[in-house]
Amino acid sequence: MADLGPVEARLRAIVDAYRDRLVVGSVYGLETLTRPEAKAHDFFAFVKPGTSYVSLYLKPVYTWPDLLDDISPELRKRLQGSRTAFSFAVVDEALLAELETLVERAFRRYRKAGSGQVAAPPESPSTEAPA
């Protein structure tokens, strides 16, 4: 069995970079990072170790799927069985660097949504003819 310790440590480091800007919450007994005013299932992210891989759950990509528009096919393959969980069995620095960038973009959107600002992407221009 592979040693998942380095994978878990690397994924936790990605999430822990936001610990000073969020609060600790809990979903199903798992520690999450969330906005202070958020409901339990409106978490930002958490890391869940498994027996053969470790997953980083990033809820904003479920809320705003357009965050995934620019990710590489290799990172997209890491979305296993969920629309929010990126799973890794080994440390792949190139993919983890890309994941870090995605997490930062997701955090900006998540924080903006919590501040009452509109966080949705701009709507495309209407194709309907004016009345």
Residue 27 lies in a domain: yes
Give me the mean pLDDT over the 39-68 stretch.
93
- Parent domain of 50: 5-114
Give me the mean pLDDT over the 12-35 stretch.
93
Residue 52 lies in a domain: yes
Strand partners, 26: 31
Helix axes 5-16, 93-114, angle to 10 degrees: 30
Q: Which range among 14-18, 32-36, 124-128 shows the weakest confidence by mean pLDDT?
A: 124-128
Residue 43 lies in a domain: yes
End-to-end CA distance of the chain: 66
pLDDT at position 115, please?
65
Residue 126 lies in a domain: no
Determine contact, residues 8/54, Cβ cutoff 8 Å: yes
Distance of CA 8 to the CA centre of its chain: 15
If one counts the domains in the chain, the total is 1
- H/E run at residue 36: none
CATH of the domain at 108: 3.90.1150
Count CB-CB contacts under 10 A for residue 10: 20
